[in-house]
């Protein structure tokens, strides 16, 4: 496995921004950056063996700071939304910056996705480390986070998160890569299958309300593979709120610490298959409903709505305010550890 590092740019504070390229024996590769511990490119073959980049991203390093789509990066301290930017922990209420309508999203405007992480090559992979200070974006406690990427000879990208803190806090980490298994065009003809018989209904600001609901008989049903575009324009609350899919599904068979199949994405055109497994309880599927107007892409490409789909394995949105959800509380002496595997193949 070849791991190469080169300086891509310099941040405003002079810190080096790196690009890491990991290439396996077959020539498949992944390109990573220490801006938000991000995925810049994933180059994998189609059914005819032709390589293409299957994630969206930008040509310039500076475009990754503050971009609306959060392309390829790892948001935090809490990925997804927290209602009204408030939560209570051990009887203390914390207030977070509101940056998505009335809610806090992806750790706020100064979230992990907009930080230059420390980084290093390590045992054939790449490790990104960020230390979040007590009070940063309103969160309690100093927290040290590591995101480690490994790229296998079988075209599997393994992402492992670990975190420790010195005060009780909350944490929810994911990767926000957007996939297009053709390398270009719309993803509405991509087929998606989810290992999820329930999803989380939300209010119009995408905060979960009530109990998880069965997907059966609704446009949210991906238990059997179907195209993303088949039901996307149907009159249904979860679709009306976001101009497409932007919801969290509850992964069937979730057991803390255990890998579970979450999703399979397939393009009949290219033959590429992406299987996603994770230790996390939920998967947020976002069909790139608001990609129009985002920064210019790699090689000058312009992205449009539905140019790619994000498959974000994570804990449930607004979990700090929902004690019935799997816990997102991290306490001193405990280790937060979660994994996501993106496995590519052809059919």
H-assigned helices in the chain: 237-242
Instruction: Give the DSSP per-residue string, 135-172.
Output: TGGG--S-EEEEEEEEE-TTSEEEEEEEEEESS-EE-B
Whether the CB-CB separation of 158 and 149 falls below 8 Å is answered with yes
110 is catalytic: no
261 is catalytic: no
Whether the CB-CB separation of 206 and 191 falls below 8 Å is answered with no
Q: What is the DSSP letter of 309?
A: E
66 is written with which tokens?
């503050």
Catalytic-role residue among 190, 312, 315, 338: 312
Sign of CA pseudo-dihedral 324, 330, 334, 335:
positive
| Residue in this structure with the two tokens 């590092």, named with its chain if needed | 5
Whether the CB-CB separation of 119 and 127 falls below 8 Å is answered with yes
116 is written with which tokens?
């230059």
CB-based burial, 317-346: b 16+ in 10 Å, e otherwise: bbbbbbeebeebbbbeeeebebbbbbbbbb
Cis, peptide link before residue 77, omega less than 30° from 0: yes
Query: How far apart, in whole angstroms, are the C-alpha atoms of residue 321 and residue 245?
Result: 23
Whether the CB-CB separation of 254 and 281 falls below 8 Å is answered with yes
47 is written with which tokens?
């059914």
Catalytic-role residue among 176, 190, 264, 338: 176
- Whole-Å CA distances, 122 to 22, 37, 38, 161, 311: 12, 15, 17, 15, 27
Max CA pair span of the chain: 58
Active centre residues (catalytic): 176, 312
């Amino acid at each position: 496995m070849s791991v190469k590092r080169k300086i891509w740019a310099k941040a405003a504070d002079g810190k080096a921004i790196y690009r890491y390229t990991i290439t396996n024996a077959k020539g498949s590769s992944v390109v990573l950056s220490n801006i938000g511990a991000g995925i810049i490119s994933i180059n994998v073959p189609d059914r005819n063996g032709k390589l293409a980049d299957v994630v969206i991203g930008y040509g310039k390093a500076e475009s990754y700071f503050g971009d609306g789509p959060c392309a390829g990066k790892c948001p935090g301290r809490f990925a997804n939304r927290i209602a009204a930017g408030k939560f209570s922990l051990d009887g203390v209420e914390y207030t977070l910056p509101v940056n998505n309508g009335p809610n806090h999203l992806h750790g706020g405007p100064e979230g992990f996705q907009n930080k230059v992480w420390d980084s290093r090559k390590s045992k054939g992979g790449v490790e990104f480390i960020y230390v979040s200070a007590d009070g940063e974006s309103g969160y309690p406690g100093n927290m040290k986070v590591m995101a480690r990427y490994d790229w296998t000879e079988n075209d599997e990208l393994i992402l492992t998160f670990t975190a420790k803190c010195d005060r009780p806090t909350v944490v929810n980490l994911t990767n926000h890569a957007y996939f297009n298994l053709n390398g270009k065009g719309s993803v509405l003809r991509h087929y998606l299958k989810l290992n999820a018989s329930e999803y989380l209904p939300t209010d119009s600001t995408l905060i979960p309300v009530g109990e998880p609901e069965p997907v059966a008989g609704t446009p949210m049903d991906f238990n059997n593979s179907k195209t993303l575009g088949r039901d996307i324009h149907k009159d249904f609350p979860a679709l009306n709120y976001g101009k497409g899919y932007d919801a969290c599904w509850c992964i069937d068979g979730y057991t803390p610490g255990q890998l579970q199949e979450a999703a399979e994405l397939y393009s009949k055109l290219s033959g590429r298959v992406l299987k996603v497994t994770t230790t996390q309880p939920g998967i947020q599927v976002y069909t790139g409903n608001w990609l129009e107007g985002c920064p210019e892409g790699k090689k000058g490409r312009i992205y449009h709505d539905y140019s790619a789909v994000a498959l974000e394995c994570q804990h449930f949105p607004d979990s700090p305010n929902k004690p019935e959800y799997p816990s997102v509380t991290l306490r001193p002496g405990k280790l937060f550890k979660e994994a996501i595997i993106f496995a590519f193949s052809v059919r």
